[in-house]
Structure 1
Amino acid sequence: MAKKKLHPSVEKFKEFVKEHPDLAQQVRKGETTWQEMFEEWYLLGEDDPRWNTISDNIKDKKNEDKEQKTDWLGTIMGAVKNMDPAQVQGQMNNISQALGAIQGVLSQFQGKAGGSQGSNNSGPSNPFSFRKD
């Protein structure tokens, strides 16, 4: 299938977008459309300061994201450093005891449910039992 020849202004816009990949991210995020971007580019031109501010804003957002990730990691590491191993062990023992108690209650309920079903059934435990001759 032969490629369609695009209008020269569209070709120039495609080259412009290749030079400014941040614009494509803006379209992917739904902040604008390709049509709106093309119209602005066509009216304002390539040298308009708007295109530089968009790139700068996106770079600033990326830096903020990196800082937030670093802050989160720092917070976790600070919490780990401030932990007392004896307290952690005590909390783990408490959790273990609580889980054991819950398992005990659940097994009692399961035992009652299984026991009531077994007592209702008066037939042999194996319905296919045969006598040997």
Structure 2
Amino acid sequence: MMTGKLHPSVEEFKAFVKEHPSLIKLVRSNEYNWQELYEEWYLLGPDDPKWNPYKQGNVPRTNKSNEKDEDDKRWVQQLTGMLKKVDPHQMQHHLQNLSQAIGAIQGVLSQFQGAGQESPPQQIQTPGNPFLFRKD
């Protein structure tokens, strides 16, 4: 165990938690950890309205998982809204331009790769099979 006194801000936070017992429940239910709560308390201060529901012994309705769900819903709504505004013909035009650009880059790369070789690779030609029979 540590010997000596805790930092004064930690002592203040401990007193704050005693006045807001619902915070203990949040940590025990793994919605927050002590470090997160301490950092928020340190940044917001003990008088921030965020802490009022905890002081009364109530846990606010929205917890981290609900906030995350709401953020996900908002993100999906924004994405859906953007997709509704997309003109399919304009998108097709942009994709064709991108495809042409990639083709041009591939052509340049193949020229550089070919320039490093002394002679082009020889293709082995095999004569056709004169006795090729097909089954009926």
TM-score by length of 2: 0.48
With the length of structure 1 as denominator, give the TM-score of the two structures: 0.48
Which is helix-richer, 1 or 2?
1
